[in-house]
Amino acid sequence: MTEAYNWQQLERAADQPIWITDDEALAQYCKAWQALPLIALDTEFIRVDTFYPVPGLIQIADDKACYLIDPLKIEDYEPMVQLFRDPSVLKVLHAGSEDLELFLYMLGDLPTPIFDTQIAAGFLGWGFSMGYQRLVEHALDVHLEKGETTSDWLQRPLTNSQEHYAALDVAYLPALCQQQQAELAERGMANWAAEETALLLPQMPDRDPDGVTYYQRFSQAWKLSPERIAALRDLTAWRERICRQRDTTRNKVLRNSALLDIVNKWPTTTQALSRVEDVRHQQVRQDGEVILGYLKTAAESAAAKPPAPIQRPLGYQWNKPLKALKAMARAKAEELNIAPEILLRKKDLDALIRTENQGEFSLPPSLSGWRKEVIGDALLEKLQSLEV
Kindly write down the DSSP assignment for every residue of 96-142, as one continuous string: THHHHHHHHHHHS---SSEEEHHHHHHHTTS-SS--HHHHHHHHH--
Are the C-beta atoms of 228 and 298 separated by less than 8 Å?
yes
Q: Quote the mean pLDDT of the chain.
A: 95
Which residue out of 99, 148, 240, 287 is catalytically annotated? Answer: 99
Which residue out of 67, 77, 165, 215 is catalytically annotated? Answer: 165
d(CA 343, CA 325): 12
d(CA 276, CA 76): 48
Mean pLDDT for the stretch of residues 233-252: 97
d(CA 180, CA 157): 36
Q: What ranges do the domains of the chain cover?
A: 7-203, 214-304, 316-385
pLDDT for residue 1: 43
- Given a cut of 60, whether residue 213 has pLDDT beyond it is yes
Please report, for residues 20, 40, 56, the alpha-carbon distance to residue 37 in angstroms, rounded to integers and kept in the order given: 21, 11, 27
> CATH number of the domain at 7-203, out of 3.20.20.10, 3.40.50.150, 3.30.420.10, 3.30.70.580?
3.30.420.10
pLDDT for residue 150: 72
Is 76 considered catalytic here? no
pLDDT for residue 348: 94
- Split at pLDDT 50, 70, 90, the class of 3 is low
Largest CA distance in the chain: 68
How many other CB atoms sit within 10 Å of the CB of residue 329? 23
Are the C-beta atoms of 184 and 123 separated by less than 8 Å?
yes
- Given a cut of 60, whether residue 361 has pLDDT beyond it is yes
Which residue out of 163, 169, 240, 261 is catalytically annotated? Answer: 169
- Given a cut of 90, whether residue 92 has pLDDT beyond it is yes
How many other CB atoms sit within 10 Å of the CB of residue 333? 21
Is 169 considered catalytic here? yes
- Given a cut of 60, whether residue 52 has pLDDT beyond it is yes
Which residue out of 44, 62, 86, 163 is catalytically annotated? Answer: 44
Q: With pLDDT > 70 as the criterion, what percentage of the chain qualifies?
A: 98
- Given a cut of 60, whether residue 299 has pLDDT beyond it is yes
- Split at pLDDT 50, 70, 90, the class of 95 is very high
Which string of b and e fits 117-138 if b means at least 16 CB within 10 Å? bbbbbbbbbbebebebbebbee
Residues 269-281: pLDDT tens digits?
A: 999 999 999 999 9
Do the domains at 7-203 and 316-385 have one common CATH topology?
no
Residues 14-38: pLDDT tens digits?
A: 999 999 999 999 999 999 999 999 9
Is 42 considered catalytic here? yes
Which residue out of 42, 62, 86, 240 is catalytically annotated? Answer: 42
Query: Helix, strand or coil for residue 69?
Result: strand
- Split at pLDDT 50, 70, 90, the class of 151 is confident
Domain spanning 214-304 has what CATH number? Answer: 1.10.150.80
Domain spanning 316-385 has what CATH number? Answer: 1.10.150.80
Is 165 considered catalytic here? yes
